[in-house]
Amino acid sequence: IPSNVDENAYKLQYPDPRELSMKLAEAKAEAVAKAQNDAIVIASDTVNIRGGQIHDKPKSYEEAFAMIKKVSNTHEIVYSGVCMINTATKRKHMDVAELIVHFNPIRDEDIHHHLKELEATKGFGHTSTGFDPTSMFALKHHKRIEGSSSLLIYGIPFELLLPKLREWDINI
């Protein structure tokens, strides 16, 4: 269910990426929870840091190329805030996961090849990295990964949610 939260307003208010990811997740969960009577609402938001700066989803081929080039032979930090609300009991749980992805050098021709494939299938704005983190392109260029593996693979840190769901007597 889309939350229709204006992310840009939060970016100005919360410059710290960890806090921003949690506040966006909370805003999204609360927006969806308002229309639910008896549900577990789970929302997340991911913030990517490259070169000390927060990066949005690329809007063009050129932006996607520059984003990928920027992580070549360095790393990016990914924060994923999660918020879970039990609308029946009004319980809320918030947390944030961190993932650091270290990259090998990435050749320009590999980036161009990947982006041409991406442009023909999903488009550039589907992830904030400019590439699908589970794609063969990404996997070929990952040097080392530290942190949440479920964040990398599924886009949400399940290790932060599952214990709380069990604590709330939600069987999964």
Cα distance between residue 154 and residue 82, in whole Å: 13
| Residues of the chain with confidence (pLDDT) below 50 | none
pLDDT of amino acid 163: 93
Q: What's the pLDDT score for residue 103?
A: 93
Rounded distance between C-alpha atoms, residue 21 and residue 83, angstroms: 10
Looking at residue 132, its amino acid is D
CA–CA gap between residue 101 and residue 78 (Å, rounded): 8
Residue 146, number of CB atoms within 10 A of its CB? 11
Which residues are the active-site residues?
45
Give tens-digit pLDDT for 42-51.
Answer: 999 999 898 8
Query: What pLDDT, on a 0 to 100 scale, did the predictor assign at position 125?
Result: 57
Query: What is the number of other CB atoms lying within 10 angstroms of the CB of residue 140?
Result: 11
Provide the pLDDT for residue 135.
72
Residue with tokens 């989803």: 57
Q: What is the pLDDT at residue 33?
A: 96
Q: What is the pLDDT of residue 52?
A: 84
List of long-range contacts for 32-36, beta carbons under 8 Å, 24+ apart = 32/1, 32/3, 33/85, 33/87, 35/1, 36/87
